[in-house]
Amino acid sequence: MRYAMAIDTRKCVGCSDCVVACQTENNVPVGFCRDWVVEVVDGTYPNVSIELRSERCNHCNNSPCVRCCPTGASHFEDGGIVVVNHNKCIGCGACIESCPYDARYSHPEGYVDKCTFCIHRVRQGSDPACVSVCPTKCMYFGDLSDPNSKIVNVLKNRKHKSLAPEAGTQPQIFYLL
């Protein structure tokens, strides 16, 4: 099992619903976020293009955050989901420094927090909150090792990229172009 996400940049409108839904689902304090939206503008008027993409922890296969965590709080769960155990976390912030995607933040209650792929929902067979709220249905969540899954299908049929592959972390969020 290998959970991953594919996000269609052709459909995303940058509305940030994924951000609000994550906050209310996961009790993320106002002013912090586990996911966010990036807009990249390219070209000169009137030959301009925009890429909109919703970003979050990439649940990397080769994750520096897990490697550098001194307490083992940052760890892998089944399906490759990278999770921080809040009880074990001492808030040292080493993982924040090591993440090339700036995916983590210090929770005001003293631990480090980030996207969990909504593991509590996934275990019950639901999609993560961001995926299930997105008005444009531009996000696909699923199991890469299941050849019949929608995500495997879209990745097969569409050109895609991941972010900063050169960092060597093997990110598992893919952007459909």
Q: Does 92 bind ligand SF4 (CB under 6 A)?
A: no
Whichever of 19 and 144 has its CB closer to another protein, that residue is 19
Q: Which of 85, 106, 132, 136 binds ligand SF4 (CB under 6 A)?
A: 136
Identify which of 154, 159, 115, 117 has the alpha carbon closest to the alpha carbon of residue 138: 154
Which value, to the nearest 10 degrees, does the dihedral of the CA atoms of residues 161, 167, 168, 170 take?
-40
Q: Which of 52, 66, 95, 144 binds another protein (CB under 8 A)?
A: 52
3 state SS of 145: coil
Instruction: Dump strand ranges (E) for 118-167.
Output: 139-143, 160-161
Q: Which of 6, 33, 99, 151 binds another protein (CB under 8 A)?
A: 33
Q: What residues have CB less than 8 Å from 157, skipping those under 6 apart?
A: none
Q: Which of 28, 33, 57, 176 binds ligand SF4 (CB under 6 A)?
A: 57
Site string for ligand SF4, 64-83 (x = CB under 6 A): xx----------------x-
3 state SS of 55: strand
Instruction: For the chain, count helices (H), then strands (E).
Output: 6, 10
Q: Note if the bond before 70 is cis, omega within 30 degrees.
A: no
Residues that bind another protein (CB under 8 A): 10-11, 13-17, 19-21, 23-33, 41, 43-46, 48-50, 52, 77, 83-87, 89, 109, 111, 113, 116, 118-121, 124, 132-138
Residues that bind ligand SF4 (CB under 6 A): 12-18, 37, 54, 57-60, 63-65, 82, 99, 101, 103-104, 114, 134, 136, 138-139, 169
